[in-house]
Amino acid sequence: MPLSKPPLWDHHGDRDAKFTEFGGWDMPVEFDSIQTEHAAVREDAGIFDVSHMGQLHVTGPDATALMQRLTTNDVSQLEAGNSQYAAITDDDGIIIDDVIVYRLPDEAAGGDGDPTYLFVPNAGTDERTHERWVEYRNEWDLEATVDNRTDEYAMFAVQGPSAPILVDEASEESLSDQPRFSITAATVAGVECLAARTGYTGEDGFELLLPWEEAETVWEVFDCQPCGLGARDTLRLEAGFLLAGQEFDPESNPRTPYEAGIGFAVDLETDFVGRDALAAIDPDELEERLVGFELIDRGVPRHGYDITSSEGRVIGTVTSGTMSPTLGRPIGMGYVRSEFTEPGTTLQVIVRGQSKKARVEQPPFIDTV
Amino acid sequence: MSFEIPEDRRYLESHEWAHDRGDVVRVGITDFAQDELGDVVFVELPDEGDTVTQEDEFGVVESIKAVSDLYAPVSGEVVDVNEELFDAPELVNDDPFGEGWMLEIDPDDTDELEDILTAEEYEDQIA
């Protein structure tokens, strides 16, 4: 199956970006160097093309009810122009995906008075998520329209301490006083966009949703470091954020939100698919949970490496690891047996057959907004 | 993008170079390899006195995004290791054919170098 391409695929190629397959998309992984791009976002600003992320649009009289029953957080608490982080779980409470759910401001909601939601599933999951929403809508006989608009929206993340200034300069509206997790209609580089005060780097910034065909106009107005998915991965790991396919995967790494450390996004007062299974779990009695760790010995932890106790017993697996560009030391995340999750606990990570000392450290590894 | 490929060296298909310096053969990875890897953050090399065998693994180079095994372009005894790389692995990116060298090997038989790629052949491979 041919890979999907973001709208600026040629443009990125002209800039000598390197590409990688991610979720069925051919995406820029590196423009200059991961360390250069990473540092730009921590110290100044960078722009990411994240057009591979899905965009699903839900509206109608029962839109809130549909979203409430298919995501773990309390959608009814969302006011127009706000967003929340949530998981999508199956009947067993296993994470299928994690998403940001935006309730669109009235001026972007279609004008018929119904609440309108835009949510952003991970790359390559938009079609199956769309099917899920339609199937449950039909089963529950809810009045809501569900559209997959992944191919209509380009999405750019402008991230870093200088990002709000850059977005302000590029937009007709004043956006830098927008609160975290808000979303508003904005005119950026003369293009009508949605501007959300969200991101996945641990830094301040915006995510801009814009018409696919206007991508170059908006991208070009930002005079800052272009960044690829490589830097996005090191930035999100330093911030302790999950990556689909690594920290959770319904097939290869089935995890509940409690194991994955996102219990804050579960509201058991609401009735959602997976709710009863999660309600039956005592979060204090989990067998395994996700931890962060720092590798003390020389080496780099990688996805899939075993984690052992000091005695050599296998107690877990690394889900993500890297040499932290900000900290200059190797960090990672992984699932381990609960008795080994206390910060400061000594572990061993098996790096190509060699046992390397590590210490549990609660993410985030850096200060985040 | 064009890459530096010095003609005074031999190359493995796995992107290591070998420079016959008379008494020893110096070994490193190519400009193309460091570019493919991206930011090098860690190297694992053998100790002085260890022996290596042509086309067998002798160590590991890690960038932020990838791990790659290193292969010996010639058999022999390791007589020097570039320990500067332990504290400054970025030298592999900055100067792969110079300051970023990795090993010096006292070769068992320098004729082995005739069995691996010339600069021209390596250039064809990465073209």
Put simply, the answer to whether A234 touches B1 (Cβ < 8 Å) is: no
Nearest CA of chain B to the CA of A311: how many Å? 25
The answer to whether B66 faces chain A, any CB pair under 8 Å, is no
Nearest one of A290, A287, A289 to A333, comparing CA atoms:
A290
**Kind of pairing, strands A95-103 and A82-89?**
antiparallel
Best of B1, B60, B61, B65 to disrupt the A interface by mutation (most A CBs within 10 Å)? B65
Put simply, the answer to whether A300 touches B67 (Cβ < 8 Å) is: yes
Q: B10-47: buried (b, 16+ CB within 10 Å) or exposed (e) per residue?
A: bbbeebbbbbeeeebbbbbbbbbbbebbbbbbbbbbbe
ipTM at complex level? 0.88
Nearest one of A146, A362, A341, A355 to A239, comparing CA atoms:
A362
Q: Do B25 and B105 contact (CB within 8 A), yes or no? A: yes
Chain B residues near residue A35 by CB distance under 8 angstroms: 39, 64
In a domain, B46, yes or no: yes
> Rounded to an integer, what distance in angstroms lies between the CA atom of residue A179 and that of residue A366?
21
In a domain, B2, yes or no: no
Q: Do A146 and A58 contact (CB within 8 A), yes or no? A: yes
For residue A268, the model assigns a pLDDT of 98
Q: How far is CA A278 from the centre of its chain?
A: 22
**Kind of pairing, strands B40-44 and B25-29?**
unpaired
In a domain, B64, yes or no: yes
Put simply, the answer to whether B65 touches A16 (Cβ < 8 Å) is: no
Put simply, the answer to whether B39 touches A33 (Cβ < 8 Å) is: yes
Mean pLDDT computed over every residue of chain B:
96
The answer to whether B109 faces chain A, any CB pair under 8 Å, is no
Question: If residue B100 lies in a helix (H) or strand (E), which one and from where to where?
Answer: none
Which burial class, exposed, middle or buried, applies to A113 when counting CB atoms under 10 A from its CB (0-12, 13-18, 19+)? exposed
CA angle at A334 for the pair A316 and A256, rounded to the nearest 5°? 90
| Tens of pLDDT, residues A2-56 | 899 999 999 999 999 999 999 999 999 999 999 999 999 999 999 999 999 999 9
Nearest one of A321, A256, A317 to A98, comparing CA atoms:
A256
Residue B9 DSSP label: S
The answer to whether A332 faces chain B, any CB pair under 8 Å, is no
| Tens of pLDDT, residues A157-188 | 999 999 999 999 999 999 999 999 999 999 99
Put simply, the answer to whether A323 touches B60 (Cβ < 8 Å) is: no
| Structural domain of B86 | 26-117
Instruction: Give A234's contacts (C-beta < 8 A, 6+ positions apart).
Output: A34, A38, A322, A324, A325, B64
In a domain, B65, yes or no: yes
Put simply, the answer to whether B64 touches A234 (Cβ < 8 Å) is: yes
Specify the number of domains making up chain B.
Answer: 1
Q: What is the pLDDT along chain B (127 residues), one digit of tens a residue?
A: 689 999 999 999 999 999 999 999 999 999 999 999 999 999 999 999 999 999 999 999 999 988 999 999 999 999 999 999 999 999 999 999 999 999 999 999 999 999 999 999 999 999 8
Nearest CA of chain B to the CA of A12: how many Å? 15
pTM: predicted TM-score of the whole model, two decimal places: 0.94
Nearest CA of chain B to the CA of A16: how many Å? 8
| Tens of pLDDT, residues B61-83 | 999 988 999 999 999 999 999 99
In a domain, B6, yes or no: no
Nearest CA of chain A to the CA of B43: how many Å? 8
3-state secondary structure A93-143: CCEEEEEEEEECCHHHCCCCCCCEEEEECCCCCHHHHHHHHHHHHHHHCCC
In a domain, B18, yes or no: no
A294 annotated among ligand-binding-site residues: no
The answer to whether A37 faces chain B, any CB pair under 8 Å, is no
| Tens of pLDDT, residues A87-140 | 999 999 999 999 999 999 988 877 678 999 999 999 999 999 999 999 999 999
Q: What number of C-beta contacts closer than 8 Å exist between A and B?
A: 36
Q: Which domains does chain A have, with CATH numbers?
A: 8-53+151-239 (3.30.1360.120), 56-148 (3.30.70.1400), 287-361 (2.40.30.110)
CATH number at residue B61: 2.40.50.100
pLDDT at A261 over 70: yes
| CA end-to-end distance (rounded Å), chain B | 10
In a domain, B86, yes or no: yes
Nearest one of A68, A15, A36 to A270, comparing CA atoms:
A68
Residue A336 DSSP label: E
